[in-house]
Amino acid sequence: MKTTYSITEAQAKFPALVKEAAEHPVVITRRNETVGYLLSQDRMDAMLETMEILANPEAMKAIRDFEAGTESYRPLSELMDAE
């Protein structure tokens, strides 16, 4: 399915583009330049969560430590059982 639409096309097909955005981002262009995106709420929430993690120095240190093999993670169920 097409993923890039001009503003004119997007205006004419907006309800269908909202449904399409549930599957993948839709790009909106003006004069062949991207001017916007239409995203599903799930994708936007995931992007915001990722940005929050990237902005958190403690989270990034934990990720780097895990990737370096100096840290390990346990399932949450193990932590719950320890109580």
pTM for the full predicted model: 0.68
Residues near 1 by beta carbon (within 8 Å), at least 6 away in sequence: 20, 23
Note whether 34 and 59 are same-domain residues. no
22 and 48 both lie in a single domain: no
* Percent above pLDDT 90 for the chain: 75
Please indicate, yes or no, whether residues 28 and 54 belong to a single structural domain of this protein: no
pLDDT per residue as tens digits for the range 69-78 = 898 877 778 7
Q: Mean pLDDT across the chain, nearest whole number?
A: 91
The pLDDT assigned to 82 comes to 60
Number of independent structural domains in the chain: 2
72 & 60 share domain? yes
Within this chain, do residues 30 and 54 fall inside the same structural domain, yes or no? no
The pLDDT, as a whole number, for residue 37 is 96
pLDDT for residue 83: 58
Range(s) of the domain holding residue 17: 4-39
> Is the domain of 32 the same as that of 46?
no
